[in-house]
Amino acid sequence: MEYLKKYNEWLENDEIDEETKEELRKIKEDDDEIKDSFYKDLEFGTAGLRGIVGAGTNRMNKYTVGKATQGLANYIIKNNGQNRGVAIAYDSRNMSEEFSKLACLILNANGIKTYRFESLRPTPELSFTVRELNCISGIVITASHNPPKYNGYKVYWEDGAQISFPVDEEITKEVNAIGSYSEIKQISEKEAIEAGLYNIIGKEIDDKYIEYLKSISLNPEIIKRQANNIKIVYTPLHGTGNKLATRILDELGFSNVYVVKKQADPDGRFPTVAYPNPEDPASFELALKLAKKVDADIVIANDPDADRIGLHVKDNKTGKYILFNGNMIGLTVADYLINQKREKGLLENNTALIKTIVSSNMTDRICEKNGVKLFEVLTGFKNIAAKIKEFEKNNTYKCIMGFEESYGCLVGDKVRDKDGIAALMLLSEAATYYKNQGLTLWDNMLKMYETYGYYKENQVSIVLEGADGAQKIKDMMEKVRNNPPKQVGEYKVLKFRDYLNGTITDYEKEKTYNEDLPKSNVLYFDLEDDFWCCMRPSGTEPKIKFYMGVKGNSLEDANNLVERLTEGMNKLMN
């Protein structure tokens, strides 16, 4: 079997150190573990690497990170970018600091300058830094919101966005072309510093990032007026967010910010949560306990690299805290930004908003009413960033924000990835603005439903780990692709879009035709009554994801409808 062959090759390879070999010897009787560690090479895709930390070709370790970095170095040199340098950040996960230094020194050994943060920093600040320092590339060592056993390696290009076509494919070719770990160049930290290649950055970039955040604030005077009246509970979930989140809130004038003490310090074990993900309601347990104690208005969480954001809002009528999903968060920020800019005469005629295809259709109504051009892209912020780059190139639109349902927002165009710190700031500001009017963020959400329609969305993920799980995900996608249903639950399918094959089937006209769709393993169903559903494998986790959206006549009606559509999707997969 191929995986056993690779396992034994690592044990016999002189390029593999003794510590790694000892780790491999400990699993010699565990065939399942050997298989999962070696059944494939950890793929350099989406924007880099993500996997379980450990020994093996399908694991995050110094060999897989080294190979990825050498491939990136080779590509940078071919594009004469070595003097522009690479910015490098890392989060609180196990081995993040070590992998970040390893990446630095491999790049330095190739004659490429690096700018490494002195300590852990959020992913959005890394995106900002690439542009601020005019770097050719950027790297952040993070596995975002994955469980503790994971880590990752995300690569950014000169526009501050995660690498996308064709750069991603070209870098991947360079990584795959490395046939031996002996091709990975090495240099000592002392040699790299003396050569002027290894540079440490920190406070000076923090200061510029904070100034940028202040520049997108729209109502600083209301914050000062209401500073003592609004209470915010915040948790970084043992990640990178605490330092900058509390700093921006403090400098804007918020005086009642309560940080969850047990989750304030960085810790790659994530000891107080099973899953450090603000999408998971369980991650808010300690924060909600504190919120009830201090009578907080809003409760905010960032994931470990602070690109995602979660939110609970107090309902003054019931005293309960209401969980906002990713769509509700994005819609709240969009509505606040657009309306405030319009009222202040700052909403330009060429303003655009970008959302992903699985995000709420309420966005369409908000943009229609306010004269904002809406663009839809595939899931992933690299696609949002690519659209912003297109605007710049053609000198057409100005992006006011981009968002996706998976708890990510981007504001303006300085940061080209999800920015949980900017979202935290604007949600806090919006909560203050509405409190000044005697309202909560939940009250405003209800007004949005009344104005634009009772839209409701849901997302279901099935985790399928390992080689068997990967095959099951593939089989599930192929089953539906080859036999697309004409009905999902009780709802008729009007059109079926297969983004991988570039085809659209129109059931009303009974024809299938080719369309210039962006290529991705996504299946999308347009249903009757402005309903929709979609399925795709995750690009970063061992999951298959199902999305669905409805529009009801009331909040209760919308909730019932989305439950029924979810049941229909579940039956489709059984």
Burial label for 221, CB within 10 Å (0-12, 13-18, 19+), is exposed
Q: Are 25 and 18 in contact (CB under 8 A)?
A: no
Which residues lie below 8 Å from residue 335, measured CB to CB, with a gap of 6+? 366, 444, 448
Q: Which sign does the torsion angle of CA 471, 472, 477, 483 carry?
A: positive
Closest CA to 314 of 340, 284, 339: 284
Closest CA to 302 of 283, 321, 328: 283
Q: Are 81 and 133 in contact (CB under 8 A)?
A: no
Going across the sheet that includes 408-411, the strands are 373-377, 351-356, 398-404, 408-411
Instruction: Give CA angle at 387 (76, 373), nearest 5°.
Output: 165
Tokens, residue 36 = 């999962």
Closest CA to 284 of 268, 296, 301: 301
Tokens, residue 192 = 């790299």
Closest CA to 550 of 569, 537, 536, 572: 569
The active-site residue out of 37, 96, 144, 406 is: 144
Q: How far apart are CA 101 and CA 16, in angstroms?
A: 19
Q: What would the DSSP string read from start to end of 464-507?
A: --HHHHHHHHHHHHHHHHHS--SEETTEEEEEEEETTTTEEEET
Closest CA to 73 of 185, 159, 168: 185
Closest CA to 145 of 330, 405, 407: 407
Burial label for 25, CB within 10 Å (0-12, 13-18, 19+), is exposed
Is 127 considered catalytic here? Answer: no
Strand pairing report for 503-506 and 257-259: unpaired
Q: How far apart are CA 333 and CA 311, in angstroms?
A: 12
Q: How far apart are CA 397 and CA 492, in angstroms?
A: 36
Strand pairing report for 532-537 and 523-527: antiparallel
Q: DSSP H helical segments within 145-262, as ranges?
A: 167-176, 189-194, 203-215, 220-226, 242-252
Active-site residue set? 144
